[in-house]
Chains A and B, each alone.
Chain A
C-alpha cells in the first residue's frame, strides 16, 4: 500500500464524482431540463415577437443558466455529508482545498459545461443572431465555472443545515451578480457587433480570482459544517 500523493488523490476524487454522476444520469439531465423549461417560460410571458425576444435573449439565457446552477449547487456536498464521506474527506491527510476544487470541477463538468454546449439550441429558439453564439458559449464556459466555485462556498456553509436549500440562494445570489452583468454584456456586445473580448477577459479574471480564493473558503466552510 502507498498513500496517494495529492495530484493522484484529486484525480481519484474527480473520477469518483464523475462516475457517481454518470450512474444517475437523470440528476445530470435535471438542470438541463430545468434550463429548457425556464427558457420556454419567457416567450410565454413576454410574448412571441421575434425581435422583442432577441433583445432579451442574452439576459434570459444568462439568468436561466444562473438559476439552474443555483439549483444544483446545494447538492455538491449534500450526499457526502449524509453518508459520512465528508467526515472522512475532512480527516484525509490531503489538502482539503484541493479536494474541494476537485469536487467543484466535477460539478462544473456535469452542469456548466453541458449547459454551455446545449445553449446554442435555445439561443436560436430565442432568435439570438448566429454571430453571437460563439461568444455565448465562451462566456457561459467561463461564467458557469465562477458560479460553480461561488456556489460551492454556499454549499459548504449550509451542508450541515437541514433547511439549507433556500438559505443558499440568499447567501450566494448577491455574489453571482458580477458574473451575470459581464456575461450578459459579452453576449450583448456580440449581438451589436462590438468587440466582446474585454468582457470575456473580465470573466476570465473573475475565474482566476475565484479559483485562487474560493477553494479556501469552501474548505473552511466544510470544516465548520462538519463540526456543527
Chain B
C-alpha cells in the first residue's frame, strides 16, 4: 500500500503508468463515444413531444454530469495536495480544471441549442442552466488563479484552497439556485421533470455518460502527462524521453 503511494509521488512512474492506461483507454473511449452516438442519434425513436431535437441530451446530459464530477475530482486532488503535500495531486488538479471547464461550456452550449426548439429561446434562467453557468465561473476562477501566480507550487496550493472552498459551496449554491428558481418560476415554462425516460432512450444515454467519463479520464491523463513533462523538463528522465521522441 505504502509503496503504491510512494510510486504515485514519482513523476516518471506516473508518466509511464498514465501512458499505459491511455493506450487502452483511448480506443475504448472512441468505441463507446461512436457507439453511443450512433445508438442515440440514429437508432432510437424520436420523442413524441420534442421530436428529434431531444437527441441533444446524448451530449448535453453526459457533459453536465461529468463536468460536476470533474469539480469534485479537482477538489479532492486539491485536498490531497494540501493534507499530504503530494505534488502529483497538484498535477491532477491543474490538469482537471481546463477539461472540466470545457465540459461545462459544452453543457451550456448544447443546453442553449436545445432551448431554442424546446422553449423558443436561446437562454432561459432555468435553475440547472444557471447552476452550470456558476460552475463554469468556479472552474474559470481556478484556472485564472493558477495562471496569476508566477510560483507554480504556490499556484497549486492556492488553487487547492479555492477548489475546496468551491466544493463546500457547490451544494449551497445549487440548493439556493434551485430554490430561487422555484420562487420565480414562470408558469409557462415547465421543465419535463415528472416525465420518465423510456428504457430505449435511457440505455444509450447511460453508455454516453460512461463514454464521457472515459473521455474525461483520457483528457485528464493526457493533460497530466504534458504538465509532468513541463514541470520536470530539467530532469534526466524527461531529457531521455525527449531524446527518444526526437530520434523517431
Q: Real complex partners, A and B?
A: yes
Chain A positions within 8 Å of B, measured between CB atoms, are 153, 157-158, 160-161, 163-164, 167, 170-171, 173-175, 177-178, 181-182, 185, 206, 209, 213, 217, 220-221, 224-225, 227-228
Q: Is the CB of B183 within 8 A of A157?
A: no
Verify if B145 is at the interface (C-beta below 8 Å from A): yes
Verify if B187 is at the interface (C-beta below 8 Å from A): no
Contact (A171, B141) CB under 8 Å given A163-B148, A177-B176, A185-B183? yes
Q: Is the CB of A178 within 8 A of B164?
A: no
Report which of A181, A185, A228 forms a contact with B154, defined as CB distance below 8 A: A228
* Distance between Cα atoms of A57 and B241 in the complex (Å): 63
Could you say which residues of chain B place their CB within 8 Å of the CB of A213? 168
Could you say which residues of chain A place their CB within 8 Å of the CB of B13? none
* Dominant secondary structure at the B interface: helix
Verify if B144 is at the interface (C-beta below 8 Å from A): yes
Contact (A206, B172) CB under 8 Å given A157-B161, A185-B180, A224-B154? yes
Report which of B137, B151, B173, B176 forms a contact with A170, defined as CB distance below 8 A: B137
Closest chain-A Cβ to B56's Cβ sits at a distance in Å of: 26
Q: Enumerate B108-151 residues with CB–CB distance to A below 8 Å.
A: 134, 137-138, 140-141, 144-145, 148-151
Verify if B82 is at the interface (C-beta below 8 Å from A): yes
Q: Is the CB of B161 within 8 A of A224?
A: yes
* Distance between Cα atoms of A40 and B134 in the complex (Å): 28
Verify if B177 is at the interface (C-beta below 8 Å from A): yes
Could you say which residues of chain B place their CB within 8 Å of the CB of A161? 148-149
Counted as pairs of residues, one from A and one from B, with CB atoms less than 8 Å apart, the total is 80
Report which of B82, B137, B162 forms a contact with A157, defined as CB distance below 8 A: B162
Could you say which residues of chain B place their CB within 8 Å of the CB of A173? 137
Q: Is the CB of B173 within 8 A of A174?
A: yes
Verify if B158 is at the interface (C-beta below 8 Å from A): yes
Contacts A/B (CB < 8 Å), 10 sampled: A157-B161, A170-B144, A171-B141, A174-B134, A177-B176, A217-B164, A221-B161, A224-B154, A224-B158, A227-B154
Q: Is the CB of A174 within 8 A of B177?
A: no
Beyond known contacts A158-B145, A185-B183: 13 more, CB 8 A cutoff: A157-B162, A167-B144, A167-B145, A173-B137, A175-B166, A177-B173, A178-B176, A181-B177, A213-B168, A217-B165, A224-B158, A225-B158, A228-B151
Could you say which residues of chain B place their CB within 8 Å of the CB of A228? 149-151, 154-155, 158
Could you say which residues of chain A place their CB within 8 Å of the CB of B52? none
Q: Which residue of A lies closest to B174 (CB)?
A: A178
Q: Which 4 A-B pairs have the closest CB atoms?
A: A228-B154, A178-B176, A174-B137, A171-B141
Q: Enumerate B160-208 residues with CB–CB distance to A below 8 Å.
A: 161-162, 164-166, 168-169, 172-173, 175-177, 179-180, 183
Verify if B60 is at the interface (C-beta below 8 Å from A): no
* Distance between Cα atoms of A167 and B159 in the complex (Å): 13
Q: Is the CB of B165 within 8 A of A170?
A: no
Verify if B55 is at the interface (C-beta below 8 Å from A): no
Q: Is the CB of A174 within 8 A of B141?
A: yes
Among A157, A174, A177, max chain B CB count under 10 A is at: A174
Closest chain-A Cβ to B85's Cβ sits at a distance in Å of: 12
Could you say which residues of chain A place their CB within 8 Å of the CB of B183? 185
Among B144, B149, B158, max chain A CB count under 10 A is at: B158
Closest chain-A Cβ to B60's Cβ sits at a distance in Å of: 22
Could you say which residues of chain B place their CB within 8 Å of the CB of A157? 145, 158, 161-162
Could you say which residues of chain B place their CB within 8 Å of the CB of A171? 141, 144-145, 162
* Distance between Cα atoms of A159 and B128 in the complex (Å): 33
* Distance between Cα atoms of A32 and B191 in the complex (Å): 42
* Distance between Cα atoms of A175 and B141 in the complex (Å): 11
Q: Is the CB of B161 within 8 A of A182?
A: no
Q: Is the CB of B148 within 8 A of A178?
A: no
